[in-house]
Structure 1
Amino acid sequence: MGKKLSGKDLIKLGFPKNNSINITLGQINRYHKRLKKEQVLQQAALVLANPEEYIGDGVWGKIAESLTDPVVVKKQTLRSTRVPHMVYGENEIDDQAKYQLYDALKLPVAVAGALMPDAHSGYGLPIGGVLATDNAVIPYGVGVDIGCRMSLTLYPIKISYLKGKKHQLVNILSEHTKFGMYETHKNKHDHEIFSHHAFKNIPLVKRLKDKAYKQLGTSGGGNHFVEFGSVQITDPNNEWDLAPGEYLSLLSHSGSRGLGANIAKHYTYLATKQCPLPKHVQHLAWLDLNTHDGQEYWIAMNLAGDYAQACHDNIHARISKLIGARPLANIANHHNFAWKQEIDGKECIVHRKGATPAAKGELGIIPGSMTAPGYIVRGLGNPDSLQSASHGAGRLHSRRKCKEKFTQSAIKKELAAHDVTLIGGGVDEAPMAYKDIKKVMANQQELVEVVGTFTPKIVRMDK
C-alpha cells in the first residue's frame, strides 16, 4: 500500500465512484495531511458506514454530505428580468454601482434589492447594496471585512475637555490604538469569544485563532478610525434618558481583521466552485444554506461579526479606563453582514454590504468624513429599502483618484478649517474623497430619523 491516499484506496474501501472521492481526497489533503494513511482509512470507513453521524463535522461533514446528499454543481445563468428594487439618491450614484446591483437582481436566488444613497462600485455587490436571497448566502455580498461596524460611546464629561485636555487625548489615541496589519497591543486581553465552538470545530477558523487573539482590540487600515468628538443629542425622547445637549464621545469604525478576511476568501472560493456564474458576475457566487459549506460559512460569518464587536468593546474599554469615565451610553451596528429577515412573509437572507440595518426603532450610526458630521439614527423600518440605510457618506473619488487629485497641504488646510487634529491617515482618505453627508441624509429621510449628531475633533487612522 502506497504512502499517499488515492482514489483507488477509497474505492477498495467501498466509496461510490463519484465526486465523493474527489471531495474526500480534497478534505484529507487540506486538513489531515499529517495523519498516517492507515488512520485516515480507518476514519473514512467509519464515515462510509454511518455518514449521518458526521453531518456538521468540520472535516468529515463535507464527506458525509457527499455520500448522503451530494451538492449538485451546475452552471448558473442570470434571469432576463430584475426582482423588485429601490434606488435612493439615484442622481448621486455612479452608473457602475447601479449596474452591479442590476446584475445581482437577476440572480436565480434573488428576491428583492435596494441601493443606498452613499453607494459606489465594489466587488460582487456594490458598496451600499442590499440584496435579499432565498436560502442562499453570497460571501462577496457580505464583503471581505465581515462585521465591519460602528461603535459610539458617550461620556459624562464636559465638552471643554476636548480643548483643555487635547494633548492627553491625542496621546491616548497615538499610544493606545493600533492600526493596520502588524500593530498589536503589548498587553493582550482575553475574551469569551475565543471559547466559541467554531474555533475548535471548523478547521479554517481554528487555524486563525492565534491571529485573532493577537489582533483583538486593533483596527484595520483604509477608512477605519478611532476618534474623539462631541455628540449633540437633539431628541428629548432618546433611548438613554439623556438630557438634550453636548457629550464628549468616542467613535470607532473597524471590522473583523484577518479573521474575517480569511473566512471571506476561503468561502468565496468554495462558492465559485459550487455555483459557476458568467464571468462578469462570478463574485456573486452563493452557497446554499442547506449545504455543509453554506452552514459552515454562516457560523464563521457570525463568529467574525461577534469578533468585530469584541474588538470595538476592547478599544472602548481601554480608552474609557484611560480617561477615567464610565460610559453613559453605547450605540453600535454592523454594516457588512447577512441577516435572516422576513420579506413579504418569507424568511430570506438579507445582505447589507456597506448598509446600516434600519428596522423600526433600531439605532445605528452613519458617519460622514473626518471633517463632516456623523449621525445617530433611528430606523423607520421602510420595507422598500429592506429596512436599511446608508453606512456613511460614500466615496466620491477612488483611492487612486485621490492620490492624483489631492495634496497633503490641501488636506491640512481642510482639517484646520474644521479644527480637526489628524493622527495618521493618507491622501486616499482625504475628507474631500467623500460625498456630502448632508445630501446623503436628505436622500434617506424615509429610511431613518436623526437622534443626535457627532462632530469629529481628534482623529486617529492608519499611517
Structure 2
Amino acid sequence: MDTTHEMLEITGQATATLPVGDAHSPITVIGNQTIRESFGGETFRQAINSRLAPGVSRVVLNPDAHVGYGAPVGCVMASPTHIYPGPVGVDIKCSMSLLQTDVPAEEIASHTVRRKLIQAIAKRVPTGPGRGQRHAPKSRRVDGSLGFRVATEGASKLVLKKLGIPKAWADRCEDSHHTAPDDTADTLAARLEWMGRERDKLNRIESKYRQLGSYGGGNHFGEAEVVQLSQDPIYRAIAQQWGLREGAVAFLSHCGSRGFGHDLAMNQFRSLKSSFQKQGLAFPAGDPQLVYAEANSSAGQQYLCDMAMGANFATVNHLLINALVLESFQDVFPGVRGELIYFISHNIARQEPLDGQTQWVHRKGATRAFPAGHSQLVGTEFEKTGHPILLPGNPRDGSSVMVALPGASQSAFSVNHGAGRQMSRTKAKKHLSQTAIDQDLIDHDIISNCRVFPRDEAPDAYKDFNQVMSSVTEAGLAAEVASLKAKFVLKDGAPADD
C-alpha cells in the first residue's frame, strides 16, 4: 500500500482528511476503508499537487477517484480566483441525463422488443468517436447557423423549437445555458465568429456541429433501465415528486460536448501552456496538465468563454438525444409519453457560494449535490427537495438516483460521478475475458448493440459500485431515492480491439 495512506486522518466511517502542510487546509477524502485502499499513490499525488496549486482553497477526493488529467478524476477543486482547465477536462460538461417513460417494465421483457428499440434508436442517435448525423438517417440535421446558436445560446427557446425538444425540459437542467463572463451571449458569438474567420477552421467547427445528438466512444453510453423506488417513504415521495415511476422504463445517458468541446479544450491547453513557456512560468508541481489562469485575466476570460460554448453544446446534445430516444420508443410503443427527470454535469467549473465566498468550483468527474434549501435552488422546483443526482454504476450492478443531504457541505456540495475505474483500459483489455464479460451480461438479462461488449468498459474494470454507494451514504452526503436496473445498453459499436 502506498505510504500516503498512513498519513490519512480518519474522521468518520467513510470520511478522512489528508494533511498537506500547516499553510493549507487538508484534502477531504470520502470513502470507507475498502474505497480508501483503492486509491493509488498517483491519485493522492495528483490531489496534493492540486491542493498546493496557486489560488486553490479546497480539494475533495470522492470514492470514485482515480488518476486523471492533472487532477484526479473524481475530485473537486475550488478557487475564488483561478480557473484550471485540467479539472474540467477535454470533454467539457460531460454529463448524465435521465428520461422517464410510462412504458411498464414487462413490455420490454422480450429480447425481440429490446432489439427493435435498439434499432430504432440507432437510426437516430449514432455512437462512437467522430460519428455524426450522416450515420443516422432519422437524426436531426444541424447546419452552421443552428450549430452556432446552440454553442452561443444553449437550450434557448429558439434552439429547442428548431430541434423539436420540449421547452419544459430546459427547467430540468442543472444549467440550461451558459454565457460569457460578462453574462452575455453576444461575447460568445463574437469569439466563435473570430474562431471561424478562416474557411478551413470554419469547416472544422461546422463538422463538429453535425455531431449534435450523438454519443461518443469510451465510457459514453445510453441505457434502458427499470426504475425501482426506495422503500423509505420520505425518499420514495421525493422520487415520485420528481416524476420517477415504479416499475417503468427509463433511459439513462452519459455523454458530453463531443468533438466540438474537445477542440475547444485542446486549443485552450495549447494556448495556456505556450503562454506559460513564453513567460517562463512554472507549472504547479512541474505538471503542464495543471496549467491555469486567473479568472479575471484575459486568458481566464477566454477560457471561460470557450468552456461556456462547450457546455452549451453538451446541454443541447443531451436534450436532443433524449428527444430522439423518446421518438424511438414511440416507434415501438405508439403513444408512449416521456419526461426528462434531470440533466446534470460532472466536468465543469461553476461559480458557487462556498466557505463564505463565491468560488470557482471545479468538478472533475464529480457531481453537484445541492440539498433542499441551498441558495442556488431558490425559485426552482427543487428548492424544497434538493435536485436529482444521477450516478451510473455499471450495467450488471445497476445505477442510482440520489438526493443530497445537508452533510454534502463537507464535500463542497459534491458527490462522485459513478463507480470510477479500478483498471486502466490497457489492463482491462489484457486481463479481462471477453467470453466471461458477455456471459455475465447474458446471465443478468442485459443485451447491447455491440457484437461483443468492450472489454475496457466491462463492469469489472470499475470499482465495486456497492462500496462506492456505501461510502456516499455512510459519509452522510446523499440518500438513494431510486435504483436503476439495466435492460439494454448502447455503446460504441466498433469491433473490439484484439
TM-score between both structures, scaled by the size of structure 1: 0.79
5+ residue gaps, structure 2: 1-19, 154-185, 331-335, 372-385
For these two proteins, the number of residue pairs brought into alignment is 386
Aligned to 1:84: 26
Matches within 5 A, 1:189-204: 189-190=141-142, 192-194=149-151, 196=153, 197=186, 198-202=188-192, 203-204=194-195
**Residues 154 and 244 from structure 1, CA distance in 2 versus in 1: closer, same or farther, beyond 3 angstroms?**
closer
Match of 2:271? Answer: 270
Give yes or no for contact 1:205–1:263 (8 Å, CA) kept in 2: no
| CA drift at 1:436 | 0.9
Tell me the residue number matched to 1:301: 307
What residue in structure 2 maps to residue 368 of structure 1?
A: 393
User: In 2 relative to 1, CA 312–243 (structure 1 residues): closer, same or farther, beyond 3 Å?
Assistant: closer
Q: Larger radius of gyration, structure 1 or 2?
A: 1
Structure 2 counterpart of 1:431, from 459, 463, 467 = 459
* Cα root mean square deviation, aligned: 2.1
Can you give the 5+ residue segments of structure 1 that lack an aligned partner in the other structure? 1-77
Secondary structure of 2:105 counterpart: coil
| CA–CA distance in structure 2, aligned partners of residues 205 and 379 of structure 1 | 42
Please give the secondary structure, in 2, of the residue aligned with 1:139: coil
Deviations 1:76-134 (A, max 9, x none): xx988543321011233222111110111111211011000011001111000110012
Following the alignment from structure 2 to structure 1, what is the Cα–Cα distance between the partners of residues 151 and 84?
Answer: 26
Provide the rounded CA distance (Å) in 1 between the counterparts of 2:151 and 2:67: 35
Amino acid at match of 2:141: H
Pick 1 or 2: higher relative contact order, CA cutoff 8 A, min separation 6: 2
Counterpart check, 1:257 vs 2:258: yes
Residue 157 of structure 2 aligns with which residue?
Answer: none
Aligned with residue 212 of structure 1, among 208, 212, 220: 208
Alignment counterpart, residue 104 of structure 2, candidates 158, 171, 175? 158
- What percent identity do the matched residue pairs reach? 29
Distance in 1 separating the partners of 2:56 and 2:62:
18
The 8 Å contact of residues 162 and 169 in structure 1, kept in 2 or not, is answered as no
Q: Which residue of 2 aligns with 1:140?
A: 86
Q: Does 1:385 align with 2:411?
A: yes
Residues 450 and 278 of structure 1, relative CA distance in 2, 3 Å threshold: closer
Q: Equivalents in 2 of 1:292, 1:161: separation in Å?
A: 55
Structure 1 counterpart of 2:238, which letter? N
| Superposition deviation, residue 159 in structure 1 | 0.6
Task: Pick closer, same or farther for the CA change 1:393–1:309 going to 2, 3 Å.
Answer: same
Give, in angstroms, the shift of residue 285 of structure 1. Answer: 1.3
Counterpart Cα distance in 2 of 1:171 and 1:350: 40
The alpha-carbon distance between structure 1 residues 322 and 269, as it changes in their structure 2 partners (threshold 3 A), is same
Provide the rounded CA distance (Å) in 1 between the counterparts of 2:244 and 2:307: 38
**Matches of 1:284 and 1:278 in 2, distance apart?**
6
Q: Secondary structure at the match of 1:229?
A: strand
**Cα deviation 1:393-428 (Å, max 9, x = unaligned):** 111111010111012211111111211102224211
Alignment of 1:221 onto 2:251: no
CA contact (8 A) 1:216 1:314 kept: yes
The CA distance in 1 between the partners of 2:392 and 2:432, in whole Å, is 22
- Aligned residues of 2:102 and 2:245 also touching (Cα < 8 A): no
The question of whether the paired residues in 1 share the 8 Å contact of 2:265 and 2:306 is answered with no
What is the CA distance between 1:281 and its match in structure 2?
2.4
Given that 1:109 and 1:136 are in contact with CA atoms closer than 8 Å, whether structure 2 keeps it comes out as yes
**Pairing of 1:304-343 with structure 2 (within 5 A):** 304-324=310-330, 325-343=336-354
Per-residue deviation at 1:240? 4.8
Q: Where do 1:171-190 residues align within 5 Å?
A: 171-186=119-134, 187-190=139-142
The code of the aligned residue for 1:386 comes to: A
Name the stretch that deviates more: 131-140 or 199-208: 199-208
Q: Is the 8 A contact 2:422 2:461 kept in 1?
A: yes
CA-CA distance at 1:189 after TM superposition? 3.4
Residue 102 of structure 2 aligns with an amino acid whose one-letter code is: P
Deviation by residue 1:317-347 (Cα, 9 ceiling, x = unmatched): 1121122222144222100000111222111
Deviations 1:358-394 (A, max 9, x none): 0111321010112121111112242221000000011
Match of 1:345 among 356, 362, 373: 356
Given that 1:380 and 1:387 are in contact with CA atoms closer than 8 Å, whether structure 2 keeps it comes out as: no
* Residue identity matched to 2:462: Y
Q: Which residue of 2 aligns with 1:29?
A: none
Contact 1:371 1:418 in 2 (8 A): yes
Question: Retained in 1: the 8 A contact 2:423–2:461?
Answer: yes
- Does the aligned pair in 2 maintain the 1:222–1:429 contact within 8 Å? yes
Correspondence 1:64-143 to 2 at 5 A: 81-89=23-31, 90-143=36-89
1:238 alignment partner in structure 2: 238
Once the two structures are superposed, residues 276-324 of structure 1 have per-residue CA deviations (whole angstroms, 9 ceiling, x without a partner) of 3156422111111111221121122122112111111111111211222
1:284-299 map, 5 Å? 284-299=290-305
| Range with bigger deviation, 413-422 or 199-208 | 199-208
Distance 1:278 1:106, change over 3 A: closer
In the other structure, the counterpart of 2:483 is 453
Q: Look up the equivalent residue of 2:106 and give its one-letter code.
A: S
More divergent stretch after superposition (418-427 vs 180-189): 180-189
Quickly say closer, same or farther: Cα 1:278–1:244, change in 2 above 3 A.
closer
**Mapped partners of 1:282, 1:81: distance in 2:** 24
Flag as ranges the 4+ runs of structure 1 deviating above 6 A: none
- Residue identity opposite 2:228 in structure 1: Q
